[in-house]
Amino acid sequence: MKTVQKTILVVDDEKRLVALVGEYLQQAGFRVVTAFDGQEALKIARLEKPDLIILDIMMPEMNGYELMQIHRKEMNTPIILLTARVEDEEKVVGLELGADDYVTKPFRPRELVARVRSVLRRTNKEETTASVLQVAGVVLDRNVRTVLVGESSINLTPSEFDLLAALMSSPGKVFTRLDLLDILQGVRYEGYERTIDSHIKNLRAKMDPGSSSTRYIETVYGIGYRFTRE
């Protein structure tokens, strides 16, 4: 059976970098489409519906953060951020807006390709466990990657979905932040465990909007998080 070629959208205003990354991705067997500013990238993403987006933060017309905010309202495409900034707070902003991983410039193209493969494996893997989880009025379907809270469907990023699936698979079990980082299958956040807190914050806001409660995901202080049994 012929393998369907994955499409990667590479977005950066540095044309040489785009060409270099594109070459490595094509050698790895991916189809590559490119854009050099945020507005162009948004149009191409809507047209091509790529399997993953590699996105620079600092760009003309529309920066990476603005693009993510718009794109996340329309699609759940996995996103890897490219950033020349190394401050932790900048990374948290990207993760809170829905990024699945980040790579700091300068980087090795082969490392970026490895990150792409890791994120795609995580978001497209075949599940061997129960495909549908139902806990405390929340229904998660791994096959179609949907989540219902009561009768309302919520829109999650790939990372948020995978973390919620892990928590719901063992209600009441306490997961440390390192446990949850490991669930992201090798996506390295340089030991920055607060990224998990950002994802959990987003999950809570989407599952129980307008409330600061921990109705579904409970904090176990000093350890990590668990999904409620009730």
Instruction: Select from 3.40.1350.10, 3.90.550.10, 2.20.28.90, 1.10.10.10 the CATH code of 132-227.
Output: 1.10.10.10
Rounded to 5 degrees, what are φ and ψ at 118?
Answer: -65, -45
Chain segment 109-160, per-residue pLDDT in tens = 888 998 898 888 776 654 445 588 888 889 999 888 899 998 889 999 888 8
Which helix (H) or strand (E) is 39 found in, with range? helix 38-48
Instruction: State the architecture of 7-124 in CATH terms.
Output: 3-Layer(aba) Sandwich (3.40)
- From the list 22, 108, 10, the residue with the least C-alpha distance to 53 is 10
**How far is the C-alpha of 57 from the C-alpha of 38, rounded, in Å?**
9
**How far is the C-alpha of 189 from the C-alpha of 88, rounded, in Å?**
10
Q: Report the pLDDT value the prediction gives residue 126, as an integer from 0 to 100.
A: 40
Q: Provide the residue ranges of all domains of the chain, joining segments of one domain with +.
A: 7-124, 132-227
Chain segment 53-98, per-residue pLDDT in tens = 999 988 888 888 999 989 888 888 899 998 876 666 666 777 777 7
Q: Report the pLDDT value the prediction gives residue 170, as an integer from 0 to 100.
A: 86
| Cα–Cα distance list, 103 to 41, 180, 186, 199, 228 (Å) | 19, 20, 13, 18, 34
Report the percentage of the chain scoring pLDDT > 90.
34
**How far is the C-alpha of 160 from the C-alpha of 130, rounded, in Å?**
18
